[in-house]
Amino acid sequence: MKIKQKLQPWVVVQDLAEARLALRLAARRGLAVGLLSPPDCARIHGAPWFLHLIDLAGARRQGALRDHALDCANAPGLALEALRHGAATIILKARPNVFAKVAEIAAKQGARLIARRPSALAKVEAAALVAYYDRFKT
């Protein structure tokens, strides 16, 4: 029997203002949301940049921040760096043997490695967020 998992909202954030808006509106709706980096963020901005953004945004609205995910594209070295910096969830597209090895290291550190970006809202503006979040209300 396949167990159906309840979907959780994910929002792609490009900067601190978007992250704060996403968390503020989630908190008002009683939701916890995941903040997702833009594609290939680890290569473009670096893991420390994204994780600092998450720390700053989540400081005020910790109850609204369920998870964060950093996209490392196809770079296992960047995924390992992200682990060293404390990333909770890392997205990595890699050969199965490489993915398995990085996933094992992530698990030992209490992090998780996923192969695909979660479905997420990419347009961070108030009206779009409210409509998106309303789909997750129970």
CATH code for the domain of 29 = 3.20.20.70
Strands ordered across the beta sheet of 112-114: 10-12, 33-36, 65-71, 89-91, 112-114
Residue 73 CA to its chain's centroid (Å): 13
In the predicted model, is pLDDT for residue 2 greater than 90? Answer: no
Average pLDDT over residues 30-39: 93
1 within domain boundaries: no
Round to whole Å and give the CA distance between 12 and 128.
12
Pairing of strands 65-71, 33-36: parallel
| Domain assignment of residue 103, given as a range | 10-134
4 within domain boundaries: no
Backbone dihedral region for residue 10 (phi beyond 0: left; psi -120 to 50: alpha; all else: beta): beta
User: What are the C-alpha distances in Å from 47 to residues 11, 57, 101?
Assistant: 18, 15, 20
In the predicted model, is pLDDT for residue 23 greater than 90? Answer: yes
Q: What is the pLDDT of residues 47-80, one digit of tens each?
A: 999 999 999 998 766 688 889 999 999 999 999 9
105 within domain boundaries: yes
Token couple for 15: 């900067």
Whole-model pTM? Answer: 0.88
71 within domain boundaries: yes
Contact 80, 99 (CB under 8 A): no
58 within domain boundaries: yes
5 within domain boundaries: no
pLDDT in the model for residue 125: 83
Q: What is the pLDDT of residues 89-130, one digit of tens each?
A: 999 999 999 999 999 999 999 999 999 999 998 878 888 898
89 within domain boundaries: yes
92 within domain boundaries: yes
**Count: domains in the chain:** 1
pLDDT in the model for residue 1: 39
